[in-house]
A = this chain, B = another copy of it.
Amino acid sequence: METLQVSLGERSYPILIGPGLLGEADVLADLITARQVLIVTNEVVAPLYLATLEQAIAADEQHAIVLPDGEDQKTLQTISTIIDALIEHGFHRDACLVALGGGVVGDIGGFAASCYQRGIDYVQVPTTLLAQVDSSVGGKTAVNHPRAKNMIGAFYQPTCVLTDTDTLKTLPPREFAAGLAEVIKHSLILDHGFFVWLEGHIDDLVAMDAAALGFVVRRNCELKAAIVAEDERERGRRALLNLGHTFGHALESLGGYDRWLHGEAVSIGIALAARTSARLGWLDEDDCSRIEALLRKAGLPVSAPNIEVDRLLERMSMDKKASAEGLRLVLLKQIGEGVIVPSPEESLLRDVIETQTMVQQDYIDGLSESCP
């Protein structure tokens, strides 16, 4: 078991990483000391891990909420349901909420914990690669608005994160690939050496080699924790983590949140950001090819068929990253160095999106059975 500290002053917390962590009652008893615990999870994760976790937690009073699966659960209504349960069970301010699941469960659980009685303790137990390498680090919680993603939420840090890498064994391949999109993103904006390492080990990762996976989870948490420690509330540098996300969120929103997994939309967004960076003279053709090759080897799409370009551009302008000064994008100066810049003119973006859609059509056709 490894422990990594996220340094945020009085809001600092540890991330514990190791196989089999979920069942280690001794470790959990030290970390979850509340007498009242509510576990929030979903119908996919509950049959696999809920009983193990419930047994390992030593609270006097324990309840669980099992949500339906899917991004469409990220609503204010779900938050209201969780709060009703907390009140129903007479949960006090020193209670603890445990989010057992992927990014969606973490986002919901974290936001509910942040606003129940103005904030109770919460512990994240991420069970997807995406959650383990990305969403469990940094304290972003939110639900969606029908018109845009993650519009209602809070910056709220957990008291600890328990990452049991064994849970990845039960992850469907498509979900696993979606997590790799964020891994690749971290390497692209922050760490050229890690990108090269990924090029050399992508097959091991896809084969779920334990050593490669352990390294990837830890390295990603380190990279993300460092940037969050610098800029917790995303006033500046933290926005680098949004590489591919402005394109990606717009795609997800157009697809009604169920057409693409978040990581898949981000993967397409990364490819579009790379191509935009190339138009500005920062990346060359070879860089773009390497990036797309790595995304594809990870099992990810690099373009979406039948994009309605006008609607996509319109959704992008509603993105949280937009300010009164206009949309800002994360692009790449080179592999391993992200930059935050005012968006290039719409005609350039339109051209990049249209070209990417055409060029990649053959590849997409081949994917069309696994990715909708």
> A323-B94, A324-B35 known; A83 and B151 CB under 8 Å?
yes
- A115 in complex: contacting residue of B116, B152, B317, CB < 8 Å: B152
Candidate in A83, A84, A92 with the most chain B CB atoms within 10 angstroms: A92
Say how far A119's CB is from chain B's closest CB, in angstroms: 7
| Interface residue SS majority, chain A | mixed
User: Are B145 and A83 in touch, CB under 8 angstroms?
Assistant: yes
**Alpha-carbon distance A199/B93, docked complex (angstroms):** 37
Query: Which chain B residues lie closer than 8 Å to A154 at the CB level?
Result: 114-115, 118-119, 154
| Chain multiplicity (copies) | 2
User: Are B153 and A115 in touch, CB under 8 angstroms?
Assistant: yes
Residue A87 is within 8 A (CB to CB) of chain B in the complex: yes
Contact with B along A310-328 (1 / 0, CB 8 A): 0000000110111111000
Query: Which chain B residues lie closer than 8 Å to A93 at the CB level?
Result: 320-323
Residue A155 is within 8 A (CB to CB) of chain B in the complex: yes
**Alpha-carbon distance A150/B36, docked complex (angstroms):** 20
**Alpha-carbon distance A159/B150, docked complex (angstroms):** 23
Query: Which chain B residues lie closer than 8 Å to A192 at the CB level?
Result: none
Contact with B along A87-98 (1 / 0, CB 8 A): 100101111000
User: Are A151 and B322 in touch, CB under 8 angstroms?
Assistant: no
User: Are A90 and B34 in touch, CB under 8 angstroms?
Assistant: no
Query: Which chain B residues lie closer than 8 Å to A142 at the CB level?
Result: 118
Say how far A366's CB is from chain B's closest CB, in angstroms: 38
**Alpha-carbon distance A155/B114, docked complex (angstroms):** 9
Residue A233 is within 8 A (CB to CB) of chain B in the complex: yes
Q: Which 3 pairs between the two chains have the least Cβ-Cβ distance? A: A35-B324, A94-B323, A118-B153
Residues of A participating in the B interface, judged by any CB pair closer than 8 Å:
34-36, 60, 76, 79-80, 83-84, 87, 90, 92-95, 111, 114-119, 140-142, 145, 147-148, 150-155, 233, 317-318, 320-325
